[in-house]
């Protein structure tokens, strides 16, 4: 029982854990999972060992988000720029979704989790895409946490795509330039239908967005930690949510 309470409250003080406000859980949390390579290097291991360990953190934090009642969890698993990495590392990263899903899909289904993918399918190896699409299919009717993998995702490419589609509508006379609003852009993004993240977490001490959800993060709270992704625990996750709950979100108002 104590362990369960502690898992829920996290550690803020040696004496009294500060409770999370269950009425103010971020609806959508997005995470830039960074530091796998450095975590491995510090241990004298190959970078891929870091990615493998990072996969276990994906499971840990998915379950933690589900327990908290988060509705959407978006994880930056592979960017459109990550193809520049050595071939062997890219190949390893492309095997992770199927490896993860072959181990975890059953439990995700038992927990009513819905798997989604946000990214460019055309460049993915068929074994990666098929595994993800199968998980998306099998969980489509689930109504719990939405686990959204940003896989081969890039925000600028996404925005250019939206601008092209809007331009076509303008050219065809379906939309007047002066009528273009936020909602037009949002509905042509890969995240269409998913609310903007309330909270962005980035691990590993880097303080940048790395082409991740640039439009959608306009009013998100940001939380950075030096902890490398493989070492990121449920307690760290609660620390981020606790800090989020201390912030006053004003959206440009007073």
Angle at 104 between CA 21 and CA 33, to 5 degrees: 60
- Tell the residue number behind the tokens 């890969």, with chain if given: 190
Residue whose structure tokens are 């909602």 = 183
Q: Does 54 bind ligand FPP (CB under 6 A)?
A: yes
Catalytic residue at 82? yes
Compute how many other C-beta atoms are within 10 angstroms of the C-beta atom of residue 243: 15
Q: Of 28, 51, 116, 236, which lies in the binding site for ligand FPP, with binding defined by CB under 6 A?
A: 51
227 counts as binding ligand FPP under rule CB under 6 A: no
Burial class (CB in 10 A: 0-12, 13-18, 19+), 28: buried
Contact 187, 158 (CB under 8 A): no
* Among the residue ranges 33-41, 140-148, 188-196, 244-252, the one whose residues contact ligand FPP (CB under 6 A): 33-41
Binding mask 91-130 for ligand FPP (x = CB under 6 A): --x--xx--x------------------------------
Q: Which of 25, 26, 29, 34 binds ligand FPP (CB under 6 A)?
A: 34
Cα–Cα distance, 29 to 32 (Å, whole number): 10
Within the chain, what is the greatest distance between any pair of CA atoms?
65
Distance between start and end Cα atoms, the chain? 42
CB of 31 to ligand FPP, least distance (A): 9
Q: Closer CB to ligand FPP, residue 107 or residue 187?
A: 107
Is residue 158 a contact residue for ligand FPP (CB under 6 A)? no
Shortest Cβ contact with ligand FPP: which residue? 37
> In the bound complex, what is the minimum distance in angstroms from residue 15's beta carbon to ligand FPP?
35
What's the rounded Cα separation, in Å, for the pair 187 and 190? 8
- Exactly one of 36, 66, 82, 198 is catalytic; which is it? 82
Query: Three-class SS of residue 134?
Result: helix
Q: Where do contacts with ligand FPP occur on this chain (CB under 6 A)?
A: 33-38, 51, 54-55, 58, 77, 82, 93, 96-97, 100, 149, 204, 229
**Catalytic positions, written as ranges:** 34, 82
């Amino acid at each position: 029982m104590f362990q369960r309470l502690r898992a829920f409250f996290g550690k803020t003080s040696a004496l009294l854990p500060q409770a999370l406000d269950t009425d103010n859980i971020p609806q959508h949390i997005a995470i830039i999972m960074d530091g796998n390579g450095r975590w491995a290097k510090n241990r004298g291991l190959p970078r891929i060992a870091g990615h493998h360990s990072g996969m276990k953190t994906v499971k840990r934090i998915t379950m933690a988000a589900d327990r908290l009642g988060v509705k959407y969890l978006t994880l930056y698993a592979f960017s459109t720029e990550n193809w520049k990495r050595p071939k062997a590392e890219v190949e390893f990263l492309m095997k992770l979704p199927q490896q993860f899903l072959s181990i975890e899909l059953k439990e995700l289904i038992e927990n009513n989790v819905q798997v989604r993918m946000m990214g460019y399918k055309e460049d993915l190896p068929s074994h990666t895409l098929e595994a993800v699409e199968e998980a998306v299919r099998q969980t489509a009717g689930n109504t719990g946490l939405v686990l959204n993998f940003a896989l081969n995702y890039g925000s600028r490419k996404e925005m250019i795509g939206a601008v092209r589609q809007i331009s076509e509508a303008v050219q065809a006379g379906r939309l007047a330039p002066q009528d273009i609003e936020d909602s037009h852009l949002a509905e042509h993004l890969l995240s269409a239908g998913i609310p903007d993240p309330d909270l962005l977490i980035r691990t590993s001490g880097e303080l940048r967005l790395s082409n991740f959800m640039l439009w959608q993060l306009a009013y998100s709270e940001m939380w950075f930690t030096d902890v490398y992704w493989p070492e990121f625990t449920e307690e760290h996750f609660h620390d981020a949510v606790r800090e989020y709950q201390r912030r006053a979100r004003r959206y440009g108002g007073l």
